[in-house]
Amino acid sequence: MKSYLLSVVITSVLIALSELIIPQGKLKSVVNVIFTVVLLISIISPITEIDLDEAISVFNPTESEVVLDGNAENYLTSKIKDYYEKEFKIKLLGEDLVAEKIIVEINRMEIMKIQIYLSNLVIPENNEHINNIVIQNYVAEILGVDGQKVEIYA
């Protein structure tokens, strides 16, 4: 309520200042019309917002609950799984890692585990200390997922 009154008062003060500052002429009449429209909008807006919010909340489709049967859920899960497998292959190829096979396990639309079978993993001799966990974290960083969910097979 305070913001409503504040906006009405500020608009009224701007109208009064424009009357005092701007000289007579076409510019003054245009500015007065603009400020009057702004004043009317600021006065009417709280009334229209209440009605619009109530009307929109009645017809809001995002609040409806959808119950999927087993076939629909399996279909969506397989589509999401295929999508992630393709995207992960593309991301790995961008980093010069070739994945022969990627298996994504999804439960309730959340990635639970990613199994990646790499075919071209080459570790230089000067980096012999690199172990599977380092590779796992590197691949997880590339894919943008939690390292605990990634399993690497080379």
**Same domain as 140, residue 103:** yes
pLDDT in tens, 25-36: 888 888 888 888
- Look at residue 13 and tell me whether its pLDDT is greater than 70: yes
Element (H, E) at 27: helix 26-58
Half-sphere exposure of 104 (CA within 13 A, CB side): 21
- Residue 55 has a pLDDT of 47
Q: How confident is the model at residue 115 (pLDDT cuts 50, 70, 90)?
A: very high
Q: Which residue has the higher pLDDT, 45 or 50?
A: 45
Tell me, what amino acid is at 61? P
Between the CA of residue 117 and those of 70, 86, 99, 153, what are the distances in Å? Answer: 30, 14, 6, 5
Residue with tokens 């080379």: 154
- Look at residue 49 and tell me whether its pLDDT is greater than 80: no
The stretches of 22-153 forming alpha helices (DSSP H) are 26-58, 70-94, 132-143
Token digits for 96? 């010069």
**Dihedral sign, Cα of residue 94, residue 105, residue 84, residue 100:** positive
Token digits for 100? 């022969």
- Look at residue 113 and tell me whether its pLDDT is greater than 90: yes
- Residue 74 has a pLDDT of 83
Q: Which residue has the higher pLDDT, 102 or 53?
A: 102
Between the CA of residue 94 and those of 11, 24, 79, 97, what are the distances in Å? Answer: 56, 67, 23, 7
32 lies in which domain range?
Answer: 2-63
Tell me, what CATH number does 120's domain have? 3.30.300
- Look at residue 120 and tell me whether its pLDDT is greater than 60: yes
**Same domain as 140, residue 74:** yes
Tell me, what amino acid is at 77? T
**Same domain as 83, residue 13:** no
- Count: domains in the chain: 2
Rounded Cα–Cα distance for residues 26 and 35 (Å): 14
**Same domain as 83, residue 9:** no
The pTM of the full predicted model, rounded to 2 decimals, is 0.51
143 three-state secondary structure: helix
